[in-house]
Amino acid sequence: MSPPHIAGVGMTKFGKVPERTGRDLFAEAGSTAIEDAGIDRDDIDALYVGNFMGELSENQGHMGPLMAKAIGLDVPATRVESACASGGMAVRQGVRDVRNGEADVVLVSGVERMHNMGTAGATGGLSVAADDLWEIRQGITFPGAYALMAQRYFAVHGGDKEDLAHVAVKNHANAANNPLAQYQSEISVEKVLEAPPVAMPMGLFDSSPITDGAAAALLVSEDYAEEHDLDAPVAITGTGQGTDNLALAERDSLVWTPATRDAGQEAYDDAGISTDDVDFLEVHDCFTIAEVLALEGLGFYEEGEGITAAREGETTADGDLPVNLSGGLKAKGHPVGATGVAQLTEMTKLFRGDHVNSDAVEDASVGLTHNAGGTVASAVVHVLEVAE
């Protein structure tokens, strides 16, 4: 069972393009990945599509075959959905297909259209990631749920809104020169603190934006890469997935994410690594507090200690453990179903030296992606390693 290698990646510029359809966005990302890999598209054996709410945003389900045919593929094509972790779950299915010999070449992808729904529509759409009976009908929104988690964090562990502001400042700085990012502008702590409130303590700059976009990656078996003499140095050596209650009220703690812990632990075991081996991360920062909880859940910080990581410069581009060099969901953008795949495409480029922030991870050999659904009722983690 040898790990799949990433032979090619593609991603649309994330942003606001309400006039582009899901199939259009997917086709750009998918075709880019195929061109990047330089392989014959007839060699592709299967397609997985991560999509969260196409039924609501464009009256479109059944995106497996729809997307396959949009780029001329006639292969088994399946949509997976796990809210904001849909993309990561699509990656996971592809990883398993390749490493188990079910396929030699799998295209994994994610796509989401959000701006055509309007802001209220998108917020309503996002609500289907939460528990309709016990959360949405009670009036909670996603920003509200994460605000509860942040308030609770402050109460239990300390920290304040300024600590969180540093997360947003860091991720905007990382995106500043990333041509595919939705926001290519640095921001200051003051700007974050003075921004309009969304759900306190979360302000406008603590929140990831509404985004249209798609991402895709071609996973190939080691044998296929060798036979075709591909330049595919990055391999996915570990995968893990975790589960929790959808409703915050049904959890033991608002500030601890067992789904992230379980996904991380399974991925570490799978890859045979520990957190000490990891050089950099892409984590699910849908809100600034989410990045803090991710770093703790993944075991990089003790509970209550992740809050100062960005402020202390530990997770900045020049820190010991760069986090979200892509700009993260916060600044790169968060087209929900595409996010988990975009983490993979950005990390691959960071490893390969063709990302604007590649210099920050010149000697890196191990990276980790963390994609979460809802308020982390699902999480999926992948370990990426540069082949020797």
Of 242 and 322, nearer to a copy of itself (C-beta) is 242
CA-to-CA dists, residue 283 to 112, 185, 287, 297, angstroms = 19, 20, 11, 11
Name the segment binding a copy of itself (CB under 8 A); options: 56-64, 139-147, 201-209, 210-218. Answer: 56-64
Contacts of 183 (CB under 8 A, 6+ apart): 172, 175, 209, 327, 331, 333
Contacts of 178 (CB under 8 A, 6+ apart): 184, 326, 327, 332, 355, 356, 357
- Please state, in angstroms and rounded to a whole number, the distance separating the CA atoms of residues 23 and 179: 22
Reduced to 3 states (helix: H, G, I; strand: E, B; else coil), residue 64 is: helix
Is 80 near a copy of itself (CB under 8 A)? Answer: yes
Are the beta carbons of 378 and 84 closer than 8 angstroms? Answer: no
Are the beta carbons of 163 and 154 closer than 8 angstroms? Answer: no
Minimum distance from CB of 352 to a copy of itself (Å)?
A: 29
- Please state, in angstroms and rounded to a whole number, the distance separating the CA atoms of residues 231 and 243: 35
Is 69 near a copy of itself (CB under 8 A)? Answer: yes
Can you tell me which of 19, 59, 196, 318 binds a copy of itself, judged by CB under 8 A? Answer: 59
Q: Which of positions 242-301 make contact with a copy of itself (CB under 8 A)?
A: 242-246, 250, 258-259, 262, 266
Of 174 and 241, nearer to a copy of itself (C-beta) is 241
Q: Which of positions 109-168 make contact with a copy of itself (CB under 8 A)?
A: 127-133, 136
CA-to-CA dists, residue 287 to 205, 210, 374, angstroms = 9, 12, 11
Are the beta carbons of 146 and 199 closer than 8 angstroms? Answer: yes
Is 310 near a copy of itself (CB under 8 A)? Answer: no
- Say whether 286 is catalytic: no
Of 77 and 295, nearer to a copy of itself (C-beta) is 77
Of 121 and 319, nearer to a copy of itself (C-beta) is 121
Reduced to 3 states (helix: H, G, I; strand: E, B; else coil), residue 4 is: coil
Can you tell me which of 15, 41, 60, 386 binds a copy of itself, judged by CB under 8 A? Answer: 60
Minimum distance from CB of 324 to a copy of itself (Å)?
A: 23
Reduced to 3 states (helix: H, G, I; strand: E, B; else coil), residue 380 is: strand
- Say whether 84 is catalytic: yes
Contacts of 139 (CB under 8 A, 6+ apart): none
Can you tell me which of 12, 93, 171, 288 binds a copy of itself, judged by CB under 8 A? Answer: 93
- Please state, in angstroms and rounded to a whole number, the distance separating the CA atoms of residues 26 and 38: 18
Name the segment binding a copy of itself (CB under 8 A); options: 74-82, 209-217, 290-298, 320-328. Answer: 74-82
Of the candidates 5, 166, 334, 382, the residue annotated as catalytic is: 334
Q: Which of positions 355-384 make contact with a copy of itself (CB under 8 A)?
A: 373-374, 377-378
Name the segment binding a copy of itself (CB under 8 A); options: 147-155, 213-221, 240-248, 352-360. Answer: 240-248
Name the segment binding a copy of itself (CB under 8 A); options: 64-72, 217-225, 310-318, 355-363. Answer: 64-72
Residues in the chain: 388
| Interaction site with a copy of itself (CB under 8 A) | 21, 52-56, 58-66, 68-69, 73-83, 89, 93, 96-97, 100-102, 127-133, 136, 241-246, 250, 258-259, 262, 266, 373-374, 377-378
